[in-house]
Structure formats: C-alpha cells, structure tokens
Structure 1
C-alpha cells in the first residue's frame, strides 16, 4: 500500500486528535511526517508526552516532509499553509474553507502547479448528494444553523453589531444572508455553509440563517436543497468538542477522508 505522508498545521483539539490517530497507526496508508504549531515548545512537549516522534517544523518546510497537509489552524494563516504545498504540486486538506473565498488565487495556484485543495465534509452531511445534484440544475440551497450562544462569541459580525451573546435568553435570529457574507462575519462558525456552497451553487446563491439558541446544547444544521433531480431536506445535531465552535464530528470527518486516500474500497463520491 502506498503511504501518504501527512503534515498537520495546528495542534488544537482537532490537530491533536489527528496526530494521535495517524501516529498510532489506525489510519492505514498514512504516516505522520511533521507538525507545525504557534507555540513550538508546547507542541514538542505534547508530542513527547504522547510518545509521538514527528518533528515540529515551520509551515514553509512542509513540502520537504509531506505529501498532504491538513489545516487545523486559524483561518488567518491559511496562505502560509497552502502556498508552499500547492506551489510544490502537493495537497492541502482545508477545514477553514471559508478562508478560501477571499483568496481565489489559492485555487488558481493549485490548478497551475497540479496541487489539490481538499475540503472534507466536516460537521455537515449530504455533500455527496449536493455534489451529484450540481451535475444537473440546483434551483436553491438554504441552510439554517442553530448554536448555543457561547459557541458564537467573538464572531466579527457580532462584535461589529455590538451583539452580546450573554444577553441572549431565547432563540434569536442574528444573521440572514449569503454563505459568502456569513463566512466573513463568522469565520470560525460557518465553514459548513461554505463547504455546502462549494459543493452546490456557490457562495453567492447559497443562503444561511444563523440563530443563537440557548435552548440547544448542540450545533444544529438543517439544509434544504431544491434541484431538478431531487429535493433534499437534511439535518444534523453535532456535539461540540472542547472548542465550542467546533463539533466532535469534524475531526472524525478528516480521519474518514484520510482513510479513503488509500482504501481498497471507497464509499461515497
């Protein structure tokens, strides 16, 4: 079996989960080549504690070590992760896919050099069906997201509007607009909407409503798609990880995507 060398950018909740899984040999056909982290000393200490021998290297050195980099870092550093790998004709798995919208040159970079940007399903569902429907004609895509208020704290849109999530005592619609607008206003919260838009009819025709809802304890997403081949109504309730902005299933989605890379049987589009 071919071995894909994996680099992990960021050792937060998702990055640590991936590092442990890959280094533990539970994803056949992969090896942990290296990691990068903002706090190098802390990263080295954690790796040593886990018995993981992978080196901590600068993002610019990823192409020398790895075939594929997994972005588990703040969206602000996406160019530092993607540019070296894509220029070298390699692959990057992007979780902060909302950061791709204002950076179309990264997609052109992949095209020019033979690299590839992979957007995993993440905390969503139904992307296979939406991708298939997009081969025909999709008339509309609408998403409704409900999150506990604390999972939305710090979003630029809320700061700009002066909205205090601690003051929310009942379900409140705090945003309604396009996936592109949502990605700008909620960069850490609605990457799912951007993934949905990239699978379907684009970020300017995909719409999303975001609710701050103190009655829910999970990150809830409902999708409605109307197309010439199918009408889709999908819903998922994600249990938050240690980071309330991110569902536990996000890391599992990345693991599933990595498992598909060299699998003898691949299920799904």
Structure 2
C-alpha cells in the first residue's frame, strides 16, 4: 500500500504531537511536510527531534501531501484550505469555529472533489449527534467551564470589559449561539462549532461559557433532544501545555488519521 502523505500546518502543541507520532510510525501514513509561521524555528525543532520532513510554504503543500492537518491560528484557515481543496485533496480542520463564517470553503470542497474533516477534538459523542441529525433534532445545548486562564484574552471578554483575573467564584461570561461564541472566543470553543456542524447548525446550537476558578480541566456538558433519542454527555479535558487546548485534542487527530487507512473502522 502506498502511504498516505500527511502534512502539518502549524507546529504548536498539537502539531508537534502529531508530527512525533507520524515520525514514530503510523500504519499507512507518512509525514510528508510541515508549514509554520517561523520556518527556522520549525526546522530547528524537527532537527532536535530527529524528524526528517521538509518545511514548505502553505501554497506548496498540495505538491507534497494528500491530507493536511490544520494546527494553526484560525486567521490562516483560508490559506491552508484553498490550495489543498482546489487540488482535490483533504484538510483536517481543528479551527472548526473558523469554518462557520466561511461556507465558501465547504462549497469549494464540494465543487472540486476535496474534503474537509473535522475531528471529534476535545468533545464527546459527535457520532451520536451526527446520527440523530439524520432524523430531527429539537435542541442542542452546551455548557463549558474552563479555568480562567484558559479564557483570558478572548475577544469577547476584551470588547465587553470582562475580567477573569482573581475570580473566587464561577462567572458566566457568555450565553448565546454557537456562531456568536465562535466569533467571541475563536481560540476557546472550537468544540461548539464542531457540535453545531454535526447537528442543527450554529444558530440553533446554544452555549454557556463559564470562567470557573474551581476547575482545573476544560469541562463540557451537552444535552441533545431529538426524535430518535434524548441524551446528555460530559467530558473533563486535561489542558495541554497550551491552557486553551485539551491534551485529548491531539489524540483525536491521531485517531482520525488512523481511520484513513485502518482495516477496521469503528464509529461513523
């Protein structure tokens, strides 16, 4: 079997974990290239890890990779997706919130024959939501609780003069739709964007966001009411070295990559 060539756009906490796993060996997959904001720093890290992979520009990735994993700031999503999708290739998108205001990327994938993959990430139960969406979902509600440091600096907090410093009790900092949350907290709640894409869309999916000094993990609770089932889910994610991102997010990417060439695929 010819290995599937995997590119990584962004070498932060998630990108490095994925690069390391691919370099160590994943059946049917190979690390083909890396793109990063600071190419010199990326090359130095790869060399320090003994990982051999070219560092290329985003627009060159289709020449090297069959699938690119997006591990970069949401602001460069277009620059990552457009070249790959136009070349009829795949992009695994972690910045799901950035997809909501960019439906043209989904249309580009449809028209060119490419594909956008949104992994489960830091969430739980997207298979159940996707299945329920084949019928009728009446409502999807989500509550997120994060340590204050994991929300600090979010545009919504800055614009509304909301401080999460020195909190001694939980503070609800946002309540609204998934679309609004994705705009106000672009680095914090990609989970609700993925949930919305799996279910009833970003305008009908609702979320509360709490800054909670009493938690050390990123906590998400979801309630779904559908004609096929009524179910609730909760998960407590241990933060990675980046407090905005759970450790399980990178593992979710690896699981989704493994499915690309697995002889047994479990889950939708």
TM-score (norm 2): 0.99
Counterpart contact for 1:2–1:262, Cα < 8 Å: no
Correspondence list, 1:158-177, <5 A: 158-177=157-176
Correspondence list, 1:34-45, <5 A: 34-45=33-44
Gaps of 5+ in 1: none
Aligned residues: 268
| Counterparts of 2:2 and 2:230, CA distance in 1 | 39
Check if 1:4 corresponds to 2:18.
no
| Counterparts of 1:169 and 1:178, CA distance in 2 | 27
| Counterparts of 2:86 and 2:146, CA distance in 1 | 37
| Counterparts of 1:28 and 1:246, CA distance in 2 | 27
Correspondence list, 1:70-219, <5 A: 70-219=69-218
Equivalence for 1:13? 13
Counterpart contact for 1:8–1:69, Cα < 8 Å: yes
| Counterparts of 1:2 and 1:166, CA distance in 2 | 52
| Counterparts of 2:215 and 2:247, CA distance in 1 | 16
Equivalence for 1:263? 262
> Could you tell me how far 1:139 is from its partner in structure 2?
0.3
Counterpart contact for 1:7–1:65, Cα < 8 Å: yes
| Counterparts of 2:2 and 2:188, CA distance in 1 | 35
Check if 1:222 corresponds to 2:221.
yes
RMSD between superposed Cα atoms in Å: 0.6
User: What CA deviation, in whole Å up to 9, does each residue of 1:4-33 have, x standing for no partner?
Assistant: 1000000000000000000111x2110000
Gaps of 5+ in 2: none
Equivalence for 1:23? 23
| Counterparts of 2:167 and 2:84, CA distance in 1 | 43
> Could you tell me how far 1:222 is from its partner in structure 2?
0.2
